Amino acid sequence: MAAAAAAAANGAGGGGGVPRPTNPMVTPLLTDLYQFTMAYAYWKAGKHLDRAVFDLYFRKNPFGGEFTIFGGLEECIRFIANFKLTDTEITFLRSAMPTCEDGFFEYLSSIDCSDVEVYAIPEGSVVFPKVPLMIIEGPVAVIQLLETPFLSLVNYASLVTTNAARHRLVAGKSKNLLEFGLRRAQGPDGGISASRYCYMGGFDATSNVAAGWLFGIPIRGTHSHAFVSSFMGLDDIIDRTLASSDGSNKCEDFVSLVQNWLARIKDAGSLRGTFRETNLSELAAFTSYALAFPNSFLALVDTYDAAGIRLDSGDLAYLSVETRKFFRAIEEEFGFIGFGKMNITASNDLNEETIDALNKQGHEVDAFGIGTYLVTCYAQAALGCVFKLVEINKQPRIKLSEDVSIPCKKRCYRLFGKEGYPLVDIMTGEDEPAPKVGERLLCRHPFNESKRAYVVPQHVEELLKCYWPGTTSEPREELPSINEIRSRCMGYLDRMRPDHMRRLNPTPYKVSVSAKLYDFIHFLWLNEAPVGELQ
Amino acid sequence: MAAAAAAAANGAGGGGGVPRPTNPMVTPLLTDLYQFTMAYAYWKAGKHLDRAVFDLYFRKNPFGGEFTIFGGLEECIRFIANFKLTDTEITFLRSAMPTCEDGFFEYLSSIDCSDVEVYAIPEGSVVFPKVPLMIIEGPVAVIQLLETPFLSLVNYASLVTTNAARHRLVAGKSKNLLEFGLRRAQGPDGGISASRYCYMGGFDATSNVAAGWLFGIPIRGTHSHAFVSSFMGLDDIIDRTLASSDGSNKCEDFVSLVQNWLARIKDAGSLRGTFRETNLSELAAFTSYALAFPNSFLALVDTYDAAGIRLDSGDLAYLSVETRKFFRAIEEEFGFIGFGKMNITASNDLNEETIDALNKQGHEVDAFGIGTYLVTCYAQAALGCVFKLVEINKQPRIKLSEDVSIPCKKRCYRLFGKEGYPLVDIMTGEDEPAPKVGERLLCRHPFNESKRAYVVPQHVEELLKCYWPGTTSEPREELPSINEIRSRCMGYLDRMRPDHMRRLNPTPYKVSVSAKLYDFIHFLWLNEAPVGELQ
C-alpha cells in the first residue's frame, strides 16, 4: 500500500522506468553555480565531451569510528535516470549567466544521462575511506553537473545510516529502536531522509508518518505531555464504556474500574508505600487514552514528575529497574501473567553515549526512542564525501593538495580471510587481473611505502557493480527494496571483525592498492609535484 | 523572474492566496504518528474541539550566544493556509491506525485551519528564550497535528539563520559572505533551506542554483579543482581569440598574450623570485576559464600546492597578505590601476572561530566562502524549540517536569531604554494593560523570586502580530519578501546592545513576566506539584 502510494506520488519517471527522486526539489538546478560556469568553460574550450571518470569517496569515517554505511545510491540513480533541464530552467540559467553564448544553452537543453555510466558499491554496505563508493564516467560537462546533487544525496544519507547502525550496535539486537527526530531534523527533507536511512541502518520504526507513507517503514507513536495536560480530571471523560477486543464483553464504566484497581494496588501488601498521590488529570488522560487504544496502550509517565524523578540517563536506569520491579510485583500480587514483562520505553535526549552508560549501569528498558542526536548527527554533523576527477580521455589525473586523490579508473575488491571476516579492500587499475582465491597478493598502503602486506584471500568480492550502464551493454543492477537493503546492512555488520566495530579504540580496517597501482600513483605524483625551493 | 518562477512552481495555493510550502513534501502527513493517535483519543473523548492555546518557544540560545534569529514563519503560514488531508492520505492513515473508528477519519478529512489563529514575532527578528515565537490557538486535535511540522519548519530555519548572523557579525559588514554548503548539507532540502536562511541572516549570495531560482537569492560560482585537473596543457585550448567587452578590439591569440605577460612578470625587478615553476595544466585551465568569463574571472589557486602552501586558517591569513602584496606590486610595476585591490576569496572549512582567528592575525581576504560548518550548524546541530499547551478552554495549563512552561495565553512586549537599546522582554496575561512609555513597571524573572527590576520604557513594541486570524476579525500581517526580512534582521542586529552580541562572554538579555503573571504561575505551580515524601 505505502510503496504503491509512494510510487504514484513520485511519478513513474523517465529513464529505464526508474521513478523520479523522492524529493521533487531534487532537480538539475540543485547544484552549485560553478558546475554550470565550468560546463560553459568546457563547452567554450570544446572539451565538454571529453570522457571523464570521477570517484565519489570520503576520507575519514565519522563519529570516531572505523566504519561507514553507504546510503543514498537509489536517489542518485533516480536523479540521473530523470535528468533533463526544462525550458523554464534553461531560461533561468540564461538570466543567471548573461554573458554566455546561445549555443551553450542549446547544448544544455539537449543533455541527459544516457551516455553516463555509474558503478557503485551496493547501498547499505559497510564501506571505508578512499575506496570509491561510486565511479561516474561520462562527458566531463555532464558529470560536473552531477557532482553537487550526488554529494548532497550521499553525504547525509551515509552519515545518518552510519549513526543509526552505531546506535543499533550499542543498544544490542534485542532492543526496539524508534526514531523520533522529525521535529529536530534539519528541515523537512532532513527529517524524511533521517527516518528512511535510520531504518536502513537498523532502527525498527519511526514516528514520522510521511516516511511510513513514502517508504513503507513501520510507524509508531502514543501521546505527548500536552495530551496529559489537556485533561482537568476524570469528569472530562464522557463515554466510559469499553468492549473487550473480541466483542464478547463490555465494561460499562471503565473509569470506575481503573479507580477500583488503583485502590486495590495501593492497599496490596507487597506494594504498600510505592504509590503516593495520584495526579487526577494524568489519570484521566491515561484512562482516556486506554479507552481509545485498548490494545496498544503506552503511557507517558513524566509529565508530573516534580517530586524528584528526573529522566536523565542515570535515573533512566534506576527508574526502569524500579518500574520493572513494580510490574513484577503486580504480576505476583494479582496473578496477571506477563504483566512483569510489560514494555518499558525510554526517550530523553538519548544517544550512543547515554545508551552505553545505561548498559553499564544495568537497566530494564525494552525500547529506546531517539531523536535529536540521531537525526542531526550531533556528534558530527557532516560527512566529507568528495567527488574527484581521476581520469580524462584515458589520461589519469591526480590532485596533489592536502589529500592526494588516487588516480585512474579503478576496480575495487574486498578480500576475506580464513575466519570469514573481511581483511582488506584493494584497488587496482581497470585492466589488472582480479585477485584470486588462494593466490598470494601484495596489498600496499596507497601513500606510505613501508605499509604493505601479503594476503591469501579465501574469498573475493568485487565491490562496485554497474547501476547505470550508459551506452555499454553491461547488465544493470536492480535497485532493491528498503527492507532488502536493511537486511543486507545488518548482514554486513554481522560479518565484520568485532574489533573494527567497537566503540572504544576500534582497529582501522585496511584499505590498499595493488603494487602496480602504487607504482603508478608515485610516478604521477613525482611527475606533477614541483620541487620546492627553500628561501 | 526568479520570484515569479518560484510562485509558479509552488502553485498559487489555497487559503487566502498563500502559496503552498516551498517543499512539496511538507504535507499534513509530515508529522509524528502520536499527533494522529492523540487526535483520535481527543475525538473519542469528545474533546477534539476543545479550544487550546500552544506556545512555540525555545529554552536556550544556540552556539553559546545570547541571541537567536527567528526563521521559518512564512513556511508555517503556507502550511496552514493549505492544510487539507487528501483521500489517499486518509486511506493511508486508516491502514496505519486500523483499530480507529470510521467517524474519526470522516472528521480528519473535514478539517482545515480556518478556525486556527496564529500570532507570531516577525520573521528575521532577534528573539530570546522562553518568549513565544508563535502562539497557536484552535481546536486541540487540529493544533496537535501542526506541532511537528511547525517545529520542523522553525527549528532548523532559526538555527541556521542565527548561525549566518553570527558569521556576519564576526566577518564584519564590509566582507562578502558566500554560502557554499549545498553538498554537505543534511539532504537536499537542508541545502535549499540553508541557502535561503543564510541569506536572511546576512549572507550576500549562495552557490546553490535552486535557491537562486526559488527565492531570487544572488548566486555565485567559479570553478573547482577538477576543472584545473582536466587540462593537460596549453595545447588543450583551441579557440584562442578574445574580444574586448565593447567588441571594439580582438586579441587573436590570448594564450600567447598570457604567456608573454607571465614572462614579463617573472622578469620584473620588483617581483623577481616570487614566481617559480608554472604548472602548465593549471595555466591552461585558468586561461581557458578567462576566455569563457573575461568579465568575471576568479581563479582557484590551490590545486597544485604540493610545494608547501596549505590553506588552513593560519596560512590563509599569511597567504592573503602575500597575494595582496603581489597584486599591489603588479599594479605598481605595470601601472594597472586597481589591480592591487583585486578580490581575494578564501574558502576552506571556515567557521566563526577561523574567521575570528584571521581577524586577529590580520588578513587581506575580501570574501569568505563558507560551507559545512555554516549549513550543518556543526557547532550545535539542533535548536530545541518546543510546542507546549498553555491553556485549554480558557483554563491555564502548566507543565512541571524538567523545564517549567509559562501558562496562559500571553502578550509579549519588548521594552527599550534611553539609549535606544532593547532592555527587557516582558510577558503578561492576555487581558493585562500594555506597558506604557514613561511608566514604571516591575519586571520579574518568571521562576526566580529574587530577580526583578523596575523599568521605565522609552519605547514599547508588542512582539507578536496576527499572521493567521482564523475566525476573528483581526487584520492579517502580510508575508514580506526575503529581502525585506533580511533588511529587518540586519536592522534588529544593529539595534542590540553590543555586549549581548559579542562572541566572548555575552551578557544575557533579560526575559521577564509581569508581577500578576508571576503570582499566577506560582499559584498554579504550588497547586499542581505534589508534595514529596522523603523515604
Residue spans of beta strands (DSSP E) within A207-314: 242-243, 250-251
Burial classification of residue B11, based on how many CB atoms lie within 10 Å of its CB (0-12 exposed, 13-18 middle, 19 or more buried)? exposed
Residue among B24, B45, B100 minimizing CB distance to A238: B45
| Residue with more model confidence, A331 or B107 | B107
Identify the helix (H) or strand (E) that includes residue A523.
helix A515-528
* pLDDT value, residue A345: 86
For residue B535, list chain A residues with Cβ-Cβ distance below 8 A.
Answer: 273
* Weakest mean pLDDT among A273-282, A338-347, B45-54, B370-379: A273-282
Q: Given an 8 Å threshold on Cβ–Cβ distance, is B44 in contact with A292?
A: yes
User: Please, which pLDDT band fits residue A10 given cuts at 50, 70 and 90?
Assistant: very low
> Which one of B10, B107, B209 makes the best mutation probe of the A interface by having the most chain A beta carbons within 10 Å?
B209
Nearest Cα of chain A lies from the Cα of B279 at a distance, in angstroms, of 8
Nearest Cα of chain B lies from the Cα of A276 at a distance, in angstroms, of 9
For residue B305, list chain A residues with Cβ-Cβ distance below 8 A.
Answer: 400-402
As a three-state string, the secondary structure of A358-416 is: HHHHCCCCCEEEECHHHHCCCCCCCCCCEEEEEEECCEECCCCCCCCCCCCCEEEEEEE
Nearest Cα of chain A lies from the Cα of B437 at a distance, in angstroms, of 37
Q: What integer is the mean pLDDT of A520-528? A: 85
* pLDDT value, residue A4: 40
Question: Smallest Cα–Cα separation from B168: which of B513, B519, B504, B493?
Answer: B493
For residue A296, list chain B residues with Cβ-Cβ distance below 8 A.
Answer: 99
User: Please, which pLDDT band fits residue A15 given cuts at 50, 70 and 90?
Assistant: low
Q: Treating both helix axes as pointing N-terminal to C-terminal, what angle do B87-96 and B102-110 enclose, rounded to 10 degrees?
A: 150
Range ranked top by mean pLDDT from A396-410, A433-447, B401-415: A433-447
For residue A140, list chain B residues with Cβ-Cβ distance below 8 A.
Answer: 230
The verdict on A224 touching B (C-beta cutoff 8 Å) is: yes
User: Please, which pLDDT band fits residue B117 given cuts at 50, 70 and 90?
Assistant: very high
Question: pLDDT digits over B16-48, tens only?
Answer: 689 999 999 999 999 999 999 999 999 999 999
User: Please, which pLDDT band fits residue B301 given cuts at 50, 70 and 90?
Assistant: low
Nearest Cα of chain B lies from the Cα of A462 at a distance, in angstroms, of 27
Is the CB of residue A385 less than 8 Å from the CB of residue A154?
yes
* pLDDT value, residue A276: 64
> Which one of B186, B398, B533 makes the best mutation probe of the A interface by having the most chain A beta carbons within 10 Å?
B186
For residue B148, list chain A residues with Cβ-Cβ distance below 8 A.
Answer: 182-183
* pLDDT value, residue B299: 66
Query: What is the spatial distance between Cα B490 and Cα B333, in angstroms, rounded to a whole number?
Result: 41
Residue among A1, A152, A397 minimizing CB distance to B182: A152
- Is the predicted pLDDT of residue A181 greater than 80, yes or no? yes
Tell me how crowded residue B451 is: count the other CB atoms within 10 A of its CB. Answer: 12
B393 secondary structure, DSSP code? T
* pLDDT value, residue B349: 82
- Is the predicted pLDDT of residue B2 greater than 50, yes or no? no
* pLDDT value, residue A401: 64
Question: Smallest Cα–Cα separation from B73: which of B476, B512, B425, B494?
Answer: B476
Query: What is the spatial distance between Cα B397 and Cα A226, in angstroms, rounded to a whole number?
Result: 9
- Is the predicted pLDDT of residue A256 greater than 50, yes or no? yes
The three-state secondary structure class of B429 is strand
The verdict on B180 touching A (C-beta cutoff 8 Å) is: yes
B301 secondary structure, DSSP code? -
Q: Given an 8 Å threshold on Cβ–Cβ distance, is A44 in contact with B291?
A: yes
Query: How does the average pLDDT of chain A come out, rounded?
Result: 89
Question: pLDDT digits over A193-211, tens only?
Answer: 999 999 999 999 999 999 9
Question: pLDDT digits over A100-150, tens only?
Answer: 999 999 999 999 999 999 999 999 999 999 999 999 999 999 999 999 999
User: Please, which pLDDT band fits residue B196 given cuts at 50, 70 and 90?
Assistant: very high
For residue B372, list chain A residues with Cβ-Cβ distance below 8 A.
Answer: 382, 384
Q: Given an 8 Å threshold on Cβ–Cβ distance, is B23 in contact with A27?
A: no
Query: What is the spatial distance between Cα B462 and Cα B465, in angstroms, rounded to a whole number?
Result: 8
Nearest Cα of chain B lies from the Cα of A441 at a distance, in angstroms, of 32
Residue among A184, A220, A236 minimizing CB distance to B155: A184
* pLDDT value, residue B300: 67
DSSP states along A402-465: SS----S-EEEEEEE-TTS-EEEEEEEETTSPPP-TT--EEEE-SS-TT-EEEE--SEEEE--E
Q: What integer is the mean pLDDT of A304-322? A: 58
Nearest Cα of chain B lies from the Cα of A438 at a distance, in angstroms, of 39
**Which residues lie across from B108 on neighbouring strands?**
none
Q: What are phi and psi of B177, to 5 degrees?
A: -115, 120
Count of A-B CB contacts under 8 Å:
430
Contacting residues for B332 by C-beta, under 8 A, at least 6 apart: B270, B340
The verdict on A146 touching B (C-beta cutoff 8 Å) is: no
Question: Smallest Cα–Cα separation from A78: which of A174, A150, A170?
Answer: A150
A521 secondary structure, DSSP code? H
* pLDDT value, residue B535: 54
Q: Given an 8 Å threshold on Cβ–Cβ distance, is A382 in contact with B372?
A: yes
Place of cell 531604554: B417
User: Please, which pLDDT band fits residue B458 given cuts at 50, 70 and 90?
Assistant: very high
Residue among A210, A531, A532 minimizing CB distance to B27: A210
List the 234-253 stretch of B: residues with Cβ below 8 A of A: 236-239
Query: What is the spatial distance between Cα A374 and Cα A370, in angstroms, rounded to a whole number?
Result: 6
Q: What integer is the mean pLDDT of A350-358? A: 93
Q: Given an 8 Å threshold on Cβ–Cβ distance, is A25 in contact with B277?
A: no
- Is the predicted pLDDT of residue A404 greater than 50, yes or no? yes
* pLDDT value, residue A216: 95
For residue A529, list chain B residues with Cβ-Cβ distance below 8 A.
Answer: 304, 306-307
Q: Given an 8 Å threshold on Cβ–Cβ distance, is A33 in contact with B291?
A: no
The verdict on B25 touching A (C-beta cutoff 8 Å) is: yes
Q: Which residue of B lies nearest to A22 if distances are taken between CA atoms?
A: B25
Amino acid at B470: G
**Which grid coordinates are listed for B387?**
510546542
* pLDDT value, residue A14: 52
For residue A307, list chain B residues with Cβ-Cβ distance below 8 A.
Answer: 529-533
Question: pLDDT digits over A374-400, tens only?
Answer: 999 999 999 999 999 999 999 998 876
- Is the predicted pLDDT of residue B6 greater than 70, yes or no? no
The verdict on A395 touching B (C-beta cutoff 8 Å) is: yes
- Is the predicted pLDDT of residue A363 greater than 60, yes or no? yes
Query: What is the spatial distance between Cα B192 and Cα B207, in angstroms, rounded to a whole number?
Result: 11
Query: What is the spatial distance between Cα A174 and Cα A364, in angstroms, rounded to a whole number?
Result: 12
Query: How does the average pLDDT of chain B come out, rounded?
Result: 89
- Is the predicted pLDDT of residue B306 greater than 70, yes or no? no
Question: Smallest Cα–Cα separation from B412: which of B395, B397, B429?
Answer: B429
Query: What is the spatial distance between Cα A185 and Cα A194, in angstroms, rounded to a whole number?
Result: 8
User: Cα dist. A56→A48, A111, A425, B230, B345 in Å?
Assistant: 20, 22, 16, 16, 26
List the 309-348 stretch of A: residues with Cβ below 8 A of B: 310-311
* pLDDT value, residue A309: 29
- Is the predicted pLDDT of residue A338 greater than 60, yes or no? yes
Q: Which residue of A lies nearest to B372 if distances are taken between CA atoms?
A: A382
The verdict on B223 touching A (C-beta cutoff 8 Å) is: yes
Is the CB of residue A40 less than 8 Å from the CB of residue A482?
no
Residue among A1, A305, A306 minimizing CB distance to B92: A1
Residue spans of beta strands (DSSP E) within A207-245: 242-243
Nearest Cα of chain B lies from the Cα of A151 at a distance, in angstroms, of 5
Domains (ranges, CATH) in chain A?
Answer: 2-167+380-528 (3.20.140.10)
User: Please, which pLDDT band fits residue B323 given cuts at 50, 70 and 90?
Assistant: confident
Query: What is the spatial distance between Cα B126 and Cα B169, in angstroms, rounded to a whole number?
Result: 14
* pLDDT value, residue A336: 86
**Which residues lie across from B387 on neighbouring strands?**
B56
**Which grid coordinates are listed for A11?**
511519478
- Is the predicted pLDDT of residue B311 greater than 60, yes or no? no
Query: What is the spatial distance between Cα A78 and Cα A80, in angstroms, rounded to a whole number?
Result: 6
**Which residues lie across from A126 on neighbouring strands?**
A69
* pLDDT value, residue B319: 85
Burial classification of residue B162, based on how many CB atoms lie within 10 Å of its CB (0-12 exposed, 13-18 middle, 19 or more buried)? buried
The verdict on B500 touching A (C-beta cutoff 8 Å) is: no
* pLDDT value, residue B304: 45
Query: What is the spatial distance between Cα B166 and Cα B240, in angstroms, rounded to a whole number?
Result: 45
Residues, chain B: 535
Q: Which residue of A lies nearest to B27 if distances are taken between CA atoms?
A: A210
User: Please, which pLDDT band fits residue B305 given cuts at 50, 70 and 90?
Assistant: very low
* pLDDT value, residue B257: 92
Question: Smallest Cα–Cα separation from B452: which of B524, B528, B525, B517?
Answer: B517
Identify the helix (H) or strand (E) that includes residue A5.
helix A2-10
Q: Which residue of B lies nearest to A25 if distances are taken between CA atoms?
A: B23
For residue B229, list chain A residues with Cβ-Cβ distance below 8 A.
Answer: 389, 392, 397-399
User: Please, which pLDDT band fits residue A175 given cuts at 50, 70 and 90?
Assistant: very high
Q: Given an 8 Å threshold on Cβ–Cβ distance, is A187 in contact with B183?
A: no
Is the CB of residue B304 less than 8 Å from the CB of residue B283?
no
* Weakest mean pLDDT among A301-305, B391-395, B446-450: A301-305
* pLDDT value, residue B309: 29
Question: pLDDT digits over B149-187, tens only?
Answer: 999 999 999 999 999 999 999 999 999 999 999 999 998
Query: What is the spatial distance between Cα A103 and Cα A106, in angstroms, rounded to a whole number?
Result: 5
Question: pLDDT digits over A453-490, tens only?
Answer: 999 999 999 999 999 999 999 999 999 999 999 999 99
Query: What is the spatial distance between Cα A143 and Cα A158, in angstroms, rounded to a whole number?
Result: 21
Q: Given an 8 Å threshold on Cβ–Cβ distance, is B401 in contact with A302?
A: yes
Q: Which residue of A lies nearest to B349 if distances are taken between CA atoms?
A: A384
Burial classification of residue B9, based on how many CB atoms lie within 10 Å of its CB (0-12 exposed, 13-18 middle, 19 or more buried)? middle
Q: Given an 8 Å threshold on Cβ–Cβ distance, is B296 in contact with A99?
A: yes
* pLDDT value, residue A198: 97
The verdict on B381 touching A (C-beta cutoff 8 Å) is: yes
**Which residues lie across from A452 on neighbouring strands?**
A444
> Which one of B10, B33, B198 makes the best mutation probe of the A interface by having the most chain A beta carbons within 10 Å?
B33
Place of cell 605499509: A451
The verdict on B303 touching A (C-beta cutoff 8 Å) is: yes
Q: What are phi and psi of A64, to 5 degrees?
A: 70, 15
Q: Which residue of A lies nearest to B104 if distances are taken between CA atoms?
A: A292
Nearest Cα of chain B lies from the Cα of A175 at a distance, in angstroms, of 21
- Is the predicted pLDDT of residue A314 greater than 50, yes or no? no
Question: Smallest Cα–Cα separation from B138: which of B16, B40, B27, B50?
Answer: B50
* pLDDT value, residue A535: 54
The verdict on B290 touching A (C-beta cutoff 8 Å) is: no
The verdict on B529 touching A (C-beta cutoff 8 Å) is: yes
* pLDDT value, residue B412: 98
Q: Given an 8 Å threshold on Cβ–Cβ distance, is B292 in contact with A41?
A: yes
Query: What is the spatial distance between Cα A269 and Cα A264, in angstroms, rounded to a whole number?
Result: 10
* ipTM score of complex: 0.91
